[in-house]
Structure formats: C-alpha cells, structure tokens
Structure 1
Amino acid sequence: MGKGLNPVKVLEIYNNIEDESTRNNVSVCNSVLSCLIRNGKFESSIRLFHQMKQDGLRPDVVTYSTLLAGCTKVKNGYSKAIELLQELKSNRLHMDSVIYGTLLAVCASNSHCEEAENFFNQMKDEGYSPNIYHYSSLLNAYSVDGNYKKADMLVQDMKSAGLVPNKVMLTTLLKVYVRGGLFEKSRELLTELEALGYAEDEMPYCLLMDGLAKAGQIHEAKSVFEEMMKKNVKSDGYAHSIMISSFCRSGLFEEAKQLACDFEATYNKYDLVIMNTMLCAYCRAGEMESVMKMMKKMDELAISPDWNTFNILIEYFCKEKLYLLAYRTMEDMHKKGHQPEEELCSSLIFHLGKNGAHPEAFSVYNMLRYSKRTMCKSLHEKILHILIKGRLLKDAYVVVKDNAKLISEPATKKFATSFLKSGNINMVNDVIKAIHSSGYKINQGLFHMAVSRYITQPEKKELLLQLLQWMPGQGYVVDSSTRNLILKNSDLLGRQLTAEILSKQHTVSKALRSSEMKDK
C-alpha cells in the first residue's frame, strides 16, 4: 500500500473487512499504517494503532518503526517518538538498526542534536554497525547549528568504517559548512560535488547562495547564482526565489524586480513560494501592474494565497495609500482563516479612520479582537476616537463596555458626552450604567443632558423614571439646574410622582453632604 493509494479509502476498506482473521492480522494493520504514514495521515495512524490494541492485537517492531517514521514530519514529533519508544520497551520488544535510524531522523528533524548523538552511540554499544543512513541523519542533526567540527569527525569516522559518502551525505555536509559560516570550505566542497556529478540540480548551489545572502554577502551569492545559470544547472525556480528574496532584504528592489521578470520570461512552472517571492519583489519596486498580473496568475493557476501572500499585499496597498483595497484584502484574509498581525491591523485602523472609513476601521478592529490574541491596550482607545468621530456611537459603546478599564478618563468622558448628545436614546441609561461600572464618576452635566433628551421626547418618560430612580442608589442626585428642569415639566411624570422622586433625591443629597462634613 503506497503513496499512490487514497489513505481514506484504504482505511475504509480495512474497517469493512468482515473476516476477523484477516482484519486482526498485525501484518495487514502494519500495511494500512504504512499507507497512512506515507500520505501524511499521522493522527489517523495513531487512532488505528490504538484501535489495534483495543482489538487485542499486539504491535510488533515493524508497527513501532512505521509510527516512528511518521514522527519526523509532525509537530512535537520528538516527544511522540519517545512515548512510542517507551511503550516498545515496556512490551519487551528490542530496538534494531531500523528503529535507531528512524530515531536519528526524528532527532534531526526536531533539532535534538545531543539526543541524536546519544542514540547513535547507544546503537554502536549494542553491536549495530551504522550504515550511510545513520551517518547522514546524525550529520543532518549537526547541520542545525552548523557544528562543522563534529561533522568532520563523523565523516572521518564513516570513512574509517569503509563507507563512502554519497550525494545526500556530501550535500548535508555542505549545509553544515554553510551554517557554520565556512564559506571557502563550502565552495571547495561544491567544486567536489560538481566533479562527482552530484551538483546537477540546484540544491547545493542554493544552500551556498542562501548562506552567503543571509550573512550579508549578497554579491558573492549573486556570483554563485550566475555561475549556476551559466552551467545550465537544472532548476525548479528555488534559486531564483532565494536571490529575489535576498535582493529585497538588501533593499535592491530593481534587481529583485528584474530577476522576477527574468523568471517569468524563462519558466512556466509556479508554486506558492516563488509566486510570493515575485509578488514581494513587484510590491517593493512599486510595480502595481505586475502585482495585479501576478494576482491574476495565482487565480488562473488555482494557487491559494497563504498568510504571507496577504501580508505582502496589505503592506503594499497601505504603502500606496490604497487603504480600502488593503481593508478588502484583510477581510478576504480573515475569511480564509488567516490572522493578520496586530501591528498591521493597528496601522490600517489608523489610516482608515484618518480617511473617513470608520466602519471599515471597526471591522479590522473586530478581526483582531475575535482572533483571541492579546491586543495592545492603546488600540481600544484609538478605535474609540475613530468611532466617535464617525458618529458610530453604538459600536463605540461596545468598545467602552468591553474594555472600560483600558480606556482613559478623558476618552470615556468624550464618548459619554457624544453619546448623550446624539446616541440612541433607548441606550442612554445603559451607557450611563456602563460608565459608572467602570469606576468613572459621572458629572452633573451628563445627567442634565440625559434628562433634557428624555423631556424632549415624552414617549421616553419610562426611561427618565428609571434613571431618576437608579441615581440615588448609586450616590447620585440631580443638581439645582436639572431639578428645576424636571419641576418645570412635572406633568410628564405626574406632579405627585415627581415630588416623591425629588424628595428622595433631596434626602440622599443631605446624607451625602453630612457624610462629607464628617470626613472633613
């Protein structure tokens, strides 16, 4: 059962096997596990593994070796591998050279160099002779931090054992030298690879180019690239991607653009990586027409944009002051399940608000808020000012209610004044209560504004009554100006009810003054 088979179909066939002797056969299960692992269905393979044990099957060494191979390509693969290894030992099964080789590969792919060394030495102590695969996996572990000293010793040890380094081994050694900063030695090894016929594709050149570029030696990287082009080395565009990205990082945008154009003129094979790289080059060079063509090409080739694609475009549209286009791109990004960076959101919110696109600014704010990431405290107040300016007071109320502790008193006062002047009258009491709950002391001017609005709309007298009844319990009373306004319109609530309410407020007022005198 190989990579060509549909793993879902294979699993379905297995689950529908009626003959128990066939279904409860370890070899059959191992074949299904192998198919799942080869097709990247690690979680499905683990579920089947647990099902095997529940059905009374006892996993063998092949079972564990198959599952360990899957640990090389999953997140936290090393810890999962160790769990499987402990279970293998508890079942009194013995590790063999295949198991050790897989463990070395897991350690290398998860950057556990020391653990890889320990397994390698343990394998030799148990009498197993390392083969080229074992040496290559440990060498790959050394490449993580460019440990060229240990790498050279390992290669020498391998040669002493009578093994000859192959293409993979020498290419991995080149990676070690590059990451260790030994560029002259890397060039010498690249020449050796060329002489052996191991540099027919672009990978060794790309390793050296990438290392040189990241070390700031952009011209040396370019020289390697040009040498590769002259030799007509087989390329899938990875070398172009490295050089275009390197030019962009170095601020050489015209060179990046030109190389992207050269790629388009020469190659007709695209993937997401190269398209993102070219898109970045065109954006940095300010080539709007090329940017739009590249986006159209992505659609035609059915290549779905990723997080990087969206960020490249949004940054570019913001730079070009095309803020609504940046907003629509971010909206599309959010719909496709990608979360934009907070810094990018904050910048776009500011520019949208500044250019009068207040609803769009609030939409970006909500994208960030619903992503459940920690937000910069100042962003809540920034969006509040934008919403007040755009008279989106209902949305402003949501911001204040949910983030009252993070908003300054002047901003809270500005919001309250704006809402009580022209916000939805049905929400005035809710706004007052929310502001009070935040710890902000409501001043008499705000109460006067609320009472005045209710009086001008007699049909809202119930809301006025609720406000006046709520105030004394929170230590608030109306001042003389508001009191006179209420008395002047006593017919609204009825003279008797008005008198009762104001009498209660007067009692509370006397109690408050008395308390203040005692405190003095």
Structure 2
Amino acid sequence: MNTTLTVSKHSKLLRPYLLKHNRRFCTEPNPQPLTPPQDDEQRITQTVQHLLETPHQEWSSSQPLQSLLFSSPLPSPRSILKTTRSLPSYCQALNFFQHLRENSLSTNTQSLSHSLQALLELAGREPDAASRLFELYQASKEWSVPLTVNAAALLIRYFGRLEMVDKSIVVFDEIDLSIKNTHIRNILIDVLLRDGRVDRALNVLDEMLQPVSQSPPNDVTGDIVFYGLTKRGRKGRNVSEEELIKLVLNLGKHSVFPRTNWLTQLVSSLCRNGKINQAWDVLHEQLKLGAPIESPTFNVLLTGLVRCGDVKRMNTALAEMKESGVQPDVVTLGIVINQLCKLRRVDDAMEVFNKMGEETGIDGVSVEADIVILNTLINGLCKVGRQEEGLDLMEKTKSNKGLVPNTVTYNCLIDGFCKVGEVEKGKELFEKMQQDGVSPNAITVNTLVDGMCRHRRINSALEFFGDMKEKGVKGNAAAAYTTLITAFCNADNFCKAVDLFDEMVRSGCSADAIVYYSLISGLCRAGRMDDAGNVYSKMKVAGFHPDIVCYNSLISGFCKKKKVDQAYEIVKEMEETGVKPDTITFNTLIAHFCKAGNFTLAHRVMKKMVKEGLAPTVATYGALIHGYCINGKLDDARKIFNNMSSTSKVPPNTVVYNILIESLCKNNDVKAALSLMDEMKAKGVKPNTTTYNAVFKGLKENNLLEDAFILMDSMIEHGCSPDYITMEILTQWLSTVGESDKLKSFVQGHKVSTLTA
C-alpha cells in the first residue's frame, strides 16, 4: 500500500485551517518583552487567553504571546500539550500547531510532537475523523515531526475503532522502534483481535514473548489476549484449546496470568471435552509459576475428576489447595460430598458434612453447609437404602442449622422410600411437604406415580395422578402418563393404556417418542395390530421417527398375525428411511417363514442377512431347527444342529438343545434325546427344567421307569428345581405304577434310583 501523500494532497484538506501568516512588527518603539510567568499553569492560562483574544493572523505580531511561547525559559513539552488541548476547536488547535512549526519552535521537535498529540485527540472527535487523522499522520512525516508514544497509540486505536485496521498496521510498522513499547503493542493486539486478525495479533504477541524482547507482555497484555480470544461471537478463526494452553504457559513465564474467570473457563472447557490430563497440567503449571489460583478453578477441575472417577487425583488436588493457601468454599465441599456419595462412602460424606460450620472446620476452614449439600447427602443416603437416616438428617439440620428443606429435599426422600417399596411412607412425606409450605412439582408427582406402578399399585397411581391434576399441580405430565401407559401395557391392560394415551393427547400434553414406542410394543405383543398401526400413524404425524426396536415390534406383530405383506411394507419403509435391519429383524422373518414351512424363503432371508454383514446368531439357527422340527423334518433339523456343533462359530445353547430333544421325544426317539442330553452336559451347556420335562414326557410315553429314576437323580444333582409340569407328569405316572414313595423322596431332594420297588 502506498501511504505517502504529497504536501499538495494533504494541504488541500488542511488549507481551510492553515492561513498564511504575514509577520507584523509591533508599531510601538522598542517594545519591552514581557517576563514569562514562572508557574506552568499560569503560563498555560495566559497563553490560551491570548490565543483566543488575538486573531490568529496577528499571533506573530503579538508581543505578549510571542514572549509566552518563545522567551526563555521555553515552555515545556507538557505545557505545549496542555495548551493545544485547551483550545476549544480543532481549527484553532491546527492553527496553533502551524504557528509553532513556522516559528522558533520548529527545531524543537519534542514540543511539536506533544502539540501534534493534542491535535490528534481533537481530530478524532471531528465528523470526518478518518480522513483527517490519516492526513495529519502523513503531514507529520513530511514535516519531520515524530510521534509521541501516546500519539502513536491514539492513531492505532482510532483507526481500529473506525474499522481502518490496515492503517493501524501502517502506523505501527512505520513508527520508530524506540516507541514500540508494551503499551503500543497491547493496543495493536487489541485492535487486531477485535477485527478478527488472530494470526497477526499472535505474531505481535510472539515478538513480545521472545527472551530478548524490549517490550515484554504485562497484565494488560494478558487481559487483552484472553478476553479477545475467549469472547463469544468474536470475529476471526477459532483458537484451539492447545493454542490457548500454549499461550497461558508462555505468558505465565513472564508472570502474566489469566484472570480467575478465564483460567476457570479454560479448565472447565478441557474437562468437558474429556481432556482432563491437559486441564490438570495447565493448573499445575500455573501453580509452579506462582499464579494466584482461586477456588473456582480448583472446583471445575475437581468436578472433571469426579466425572471420570479419578479419586486419587481428586484427593491430590484437595491437598494442593491447602498447600497453596487456597481456601475451599461451599462448592468445593459440595463436590467432595457428592463424589463420596457416588462412591457409596456415605459415612465419610457425613463426617465432612458434620465438620462444616464448626470452629475447627475442615483443615481449619469453617464453611457453612447450604441446602444443595444437604440434598446431595440425603440423596446419597437414600441411594444406599438409608432413607430413614436421610429423614432424620433433614429434621436435625432444620432444627440445628436452620436449613429449610425444599422441594428437592422431599423429592429425594420420597424417591428413596418408593424404591424400597415403602410407598405409604412416600405419600406421608408428600402430605408433610405440603403442610410445611413446600410446593410439590412434576418430579414429585412422577416419583410417586412411578413408585406405585413399580410395586404393582397401578390403580392407586392412576387415582393419585388424577387428584394431582384436579388440584392443579403444575408441570409437564408427560412422564407420569408415560409411566402409567407403560405399566398398563406390562399388565396387559391395553384398553386402559390406549384410553390414557387418548386422554394425554386431548389434555394438550405432548407425547414423546417413549410413549409411542411403549404403546406400540405392548399392542404388538398383544396381537392388536390395528391399534398398533393407528398409534404408529399418529406417531409419524407428531413428527417422531420410529427406531429399530419399534420397527421390529411391528414386524414381529404382523408376522404373528400372518400378515407378511404388511411386515414387508414395514421392512421397506425402514430401509427407505435409512434404518438398517438388524439381526432381530432378520431372525423374526426367518422364524415366521420356518413356522409356515417356507424354508426356501427362510434361507433366502438368511443369505441376505449375511450379505448385509450380519452373522447368523443362535436365535437364527434355533428358528430354522424349530421350523424343521414342527414341520416334521427332523433329519434336516439335525443336519443344521450338527453343523452348529461342528463348523459354526455359534454353538447351540440350552434353548436349541431343548427344541431338538423335545422333537426327538415326540417322535419316540427317547434314547437319542437322552444321548443328546448327555452331550449337552459334556459340552457345559446346562439343562433346565424344560429339558427335563421334555425327556420325562418321552420316558413316560415309553414307560422307561428306571431311566426316569436316573433322570430324577440327575435333576437333583444339577440343582434344577421341578415346576408344576414336572410334578404333573411324575405324579400321574409314579402314582399309577405304585412309586409314590420315590416321588416323595424326589420332592424332599433325595436320590431315588438306588431305592427298590
């Protein structure tokens, strides 16, 4: 950029203020020069008075003015600055500067520099400040009037504010190296950062950080840099956390430290982003360099250590707080108590809590507990099943420490009692909180509703929820509706679940995806596919997208109802929306086709499953084996089973063994079933009651009594408890053949095969 302007160019702008001076001599014979006053302030006052009272064309002929300005001793540069600054307008100040330059002060560049500084201050307030400032700067170079440090600072700052940052850079590059001090560089860095020129600003800062730099950074530098780089919505590129860490450490070597809020912000950001080690290093490097660290910065580091469960370094940080003379505050102790409660070390947390507020305090520091810490501790007690102690603690602190319980306090206790089945106690606390003037919220209601539903008191939960709505308890009722709908679905009361859903929509309460998923899943299990389809349509209208679990529920439901075309429609829709079928999807289709005897289609689906990168699971093979068995193709079932046992990476489990054993028994091949049972034991697959029941049925049909006795002993030996089916089979059989005593011994857990008939 060519920034040089000729005198003719800039004088065009200055001409209205720079009138030519015709020197006039005083007409008085031999006038005696006035003796300048010795006092600077008096001299400044008199000079300004003469300048204002005398037309500027006559300044050169004014003996009093000439004496004030040019007689010995000459006015100091500071006096010239204040005189120029005292003139009421830019026009008069410019004429005064020109008067000084054209008279004997033309060789006194220091005084002219100070006058120019004041002139620049006045130019910056003019309507056309941008052009006037740059013209003055160009003129000062042609007149060989050097800038003072403050004049250079003014120009750089003014051009920055006027969004003429390129000119700020020009001024900085052209001024003498001797005045490029820390103050000037700080102003330039501030201007550059405000304009988003991050890299240029960091280059200037890097020069200041060099060991040989004559303008090292100071606290103002740190404030400008950290504010400029962390300010939200600022211009320019994003600065990485690594760059910020480097800046913090490099400035720290010059004893320039970020303010507490900025250091806390950096440490907090590192912790949130999972960079706990870097956060730890930054804080400790600052400690080594002697930075004045305060408790908020330690607190965010402690919070980060809590999140990742690093108790060892948490204790180290607490010890270092003490060593560094940083007093823990209520937040610090709240973090400690919260972590101890999470580790289920509630007694240790209680010890910390009890010391708070005492004269000796914790490590000699007395900090009063607040309601947040009390709630944390009560919640911790409830989590470990000590809700009675939590209730006692609430009453004691209310009496002894004046901590008034709030809604959160009661919510923690109500939740604690409900989770252990003491729902009535939870309801008593609900009544108590209202008596004490503590308002319940949506969480309170939802906690009680959930507690009642969890312990199968669904109707009581519904009644309570209705009462709360009538009493106008405010809050989002979606969670309570969701809990009730899910509970009625689990209880197979789908009519009530659907009624509640309709009521929820009518009341203007927005249903979330969980409500839709729960209802669709329950209706599909119950085979009410028309209702499930209706809810599914409403869900899409509401703007929710089904997940893979929802799709699988619908596919399974339609398959059970033998509505394969509709199941295929769901598969097609899920693929179109970008939801890939999973193993459950494919296994559901395979199982359906196998039951229908369409093994060609079943194997085609299995091939597609493999093509999609999904390996067949034990459920896949089980579906095929079960399909072949129920369709009378036992040899094909055994081929797949043998393939699983020999070449497949998916060995058969108890369910698969049971399918084949039950099928063998139904085909009167009990010996093969017993052999298969021995095989599963040898391979470490544990038979269950279903396995034994299938074989008992086969033995009964073939009247193999001794084998039944041996199997009864095996059942006792493997700790497998008989169920009502076992007892029904054996009771009918053994009573008929007169072996009731053996049945009695079997029930008592004694072996029976060694007893004689």
TM-score between both structures, scaled by the size of structure 1: 0.59
Contact 2:504 2:510 in 1 (8 A): no
Distance change (3 Å), C-alpha of 1:70 and 1:347: same
**Aligned pair partner of 2:648 in 395, 398, 403:** 403
Q: Structure 1 CA distance, aligned partners of 2:644 and 2:574?
A: 20
Matching residue of 2:46: none
For the pair 1:181 / 2:426, whether they are aligned, the reply is no
Partner of 1:103: 336
Q: Is the 8 A contact 1:68 1:102 kept in 2?
A: yes
Distance 2:575 2:287 in 1: 49
AA in 2 matched with 1:147: R
Which shows bigger deviation, 396-405 or 260-269?
Answer: 396-405
C-alpha distance in structure 2 between counterparts of 1:368 and 1:114, whole Å: 52
Matched, 1:168 2:408: yes
CA contact (8 A) 1:104 1:137 kept: yes
Contact 2:441–2:474 (CA<8 Å) still a contact in 1? yes
1:221 is aligned to 461
Which AA in structure 2 matches 1:248? C
Report the structure, 1 or 2, having the larger helix content.
Answer: 1
CA contact (8 A) 1:218 1:247 kept: yes
**Structure 2 counterpart of 1:258:** 499
RMSD: 4.8
- What are the superposed Cα offsets for residues 42-89 of structure 1, whole Å, 9 maximum, x if unpaired? 3345265156369767676433421443567x5xx4x23554333443
| Preserved CA contact (<8 Å) 1:313 1:326 | no
Q: Which residue of 1 aligns with 2:218?
A: none
Cα shift readout 1:276-302 (whole Å, capped 9, x = no counterpart): 334345445655455345445554555
User: Structure 1, residues 344-389: CA drift from partner, whole Å, max 9, x if none?
Assistant: 8755542244443323245457889559xxx54x7547658989x9
State the shift of 1:400 in Å. Answer: 9.0
Residues 82-481 of structure 1 correspond to what in structure 2 (within 5 A)?
82-89=312-319, 92=323, 95-108=328-341, 113-114=346-347, 116-117=349-350, 119-121=352-354, 126=362, 127-159=366-398, 160-195=400-435, 198-199=438-439, 201-236=441-476, 237-267=478-508, 269-283=510-524, 286-299=527-540, 302-306=543-547, 309-310=550-551, 312-322=553-563, 324-325=567-568, 328=571, 348-355=589-596, 356=598, 357-358=601-602, 359-364=604-609, 376=618, 379-380=620-621, 403=648, 406=651
How many residue pairs get matched? 386
111-120 vs 224-233, which deviates more?
111-120
* CA distance 1:315–1:183, change in 2 (3 Å): same
Structure 2 vs 1, CA of residues 250 and 158 (structure 1 numbering), >3 Å: closer, same or farther? same
The partner residue of 1:69 within 297, 303, 319 is 303
Following superposition, the deviation at residue 211 of structure 1 comes to: 0.9
* Alpha carbons of structure 1 residues 363 and 230: separation in structure 2 relative to 1, 3 Å: farther
| Alpha-carbon distance change, 138 to 212 in structure 1, aligned in 2, over 3 angstroms | same
Give the drift of 1:113. Answer: 4.1
Q: 1:198 to 1:336 in 2, by over 3 A?
A: farther
TM-score (norm 2): 0.42
Is the Cα contact below 8 Å between 1:365 and 1:383 reproduced in 2? Answer: no
CA distance in 2 between counterparts of 1:12 and 1:362 reads: 51
Contact 1:345 1:365 in 2 (8 A): no
- Assess, with a 3 A threshold, how the Cα gap between structure 1 residues 351 and 24 changes in structure 2: closer, same or farther: farther
Larger RCO (CA within 8 A; separation ≥ 6) = 1
**Aligned-pair CA distance for 1:251:** 1.9
Q: CA distance change for structure 1 residues 68 and 352 in 2, over 3 Å: closer, same or farther?
A: farther
Q: Take 1:190 and 1:103, find their aligned partners in 2: how far apart are those partners?
A: 30
**Aligned residue number for residue 80 of structure 1:** 310
The residue that corresponds to 2:193 in the other structure is: none
Residue type matched to 1:98 in 2? V
Question: Which position in structure 1 is the counterpart of 2:265?
Answer: 31
CA distance in 2, matches of 1:54, 1:11: 25
CA distance in 2: counterparts of 1:144 and 1:221, whole angstroms = 23
TM-aligned CA distance change 1:294 to 1:381, over 3 Å: closer
For the 8 Å contact 2:440–2:473, the answer to whether it is kept is yes
Change (3 A) 1:271 1:105: farther
Contact 1:276 1:309 in 2 (8 A): yes
Higher Rg of the two aligned structures: 2
1:167: how far off? 1.9
Contact 1:33 1:45 in 2 (8 A): no
For the residues of structure 1 that align with 2:578 and 2:471, how far apart are their CA atoms?
45
Please list every run of 5 or more consecutive structure 2 residues that lacks an aligned counterpart in the other structure: 1-226, 657-757
1:254 is displaced (CA, Å) by 0.7
